[in-house]
Amino acid sequence: MRLVIQRVTEAKVIVDEQTVAETGPGFLVLVGFGREDGKELPDSKVWSKMLDKLMNLRVFTDEDGKFNLSLKDVSGELLFVSQFTLYADCRKGRRPSFTNACPPELADSLFDRFVEDARVVAPAKVETGVFGAEMFLDFTNWGPVTITIDSKDL
């Protein structure tokens, strides 16, 4: 499982020229699942650690301008977007291979469960893109701050 977390002042997802989700200050989170991620992942310690890391990652500034505050501390919002391309393999040729990405049916259920579990612990609104749709993301990266978390590193 991989997360690309972007601190944003605002973010929205557009599908078929319609805004389907939008948030204010918080995180835009691209979520990808790999071939090694199975249906048992939501019951694992790794899953819990990924959620905890996301909610408590201290990348919001305090009154001294230091990264000391978390999403929970600032009541930040979340926008989750499923993105299999986080598992692109570009080592050979010029066209990425996506064989390391989780099969779509399983990735869809894992994504739904991750969002569901995040809603339980999130300090504010949680929105999502549309799984499998061609989406346009419109956001303002604040900082810029972009953090990548890979479950293999936990």
CATH code of the domain in which 61 resides: 3.50.80.10
Mean of pLDDT values over 36-44: 98
Looking up tokens 């019951």 gives: 43
What is the band of 93 on the pLDDT scale with cuts at 50, 70, 90? very high
Total domains in the fold of the chain = 1
Kindly report the average pLDDT of the chain as a whole number. Answer: 98
Q: Give the active site residue among 83, 111, 114, 128.
A: 83
Helix ranges restricted to H, the chain: 45-56, 104-121
Structure confidence by residue, pLDDT tens digits, 47-64:
999 999 999 999 999 999
Structure confidence by residue, pLDDT tens digits, 102-148:
999 999 999 999 999 999 999 999 999 999 999 999 999 999 999 99
Q: Give the active site residue among 84, 111, 114, 128.
A: 84
Domain of 29 in residue numbering reads as 2-153
Predicted local distance difference test score (pLDDT) of residue 13: 98
Q: How far apart are CA 57 and CA 10, in angstroms?
A: 18
Residue 85 bears catalytic tag: yes
Contact indicator for 107, 100 with CB cutoff of 8 Å: no
Angle of helix 104-121 relative to helix 45-56, nearest 10 degrees, comes to 50
The rounded percent of the chain whose pLDDT value lies above 90 is: 100
Predicted local distance difference test score (pLDDT) of residue 48: 98
Q: Give the active site residue among 85, 140, 146, 148.
A: 85
What is the band of 32 on the pLDDT scale with cuts at 50, 70, 90? very high
Residue from 149, 153, 144 nearest 53 by CA: 149
Mean of pLDDT values over 85-112: 97
Q: How far apart are CA 110 and CA 88, in angstroms?
A: 19
Mean of pLDDT values over 4-19: 98
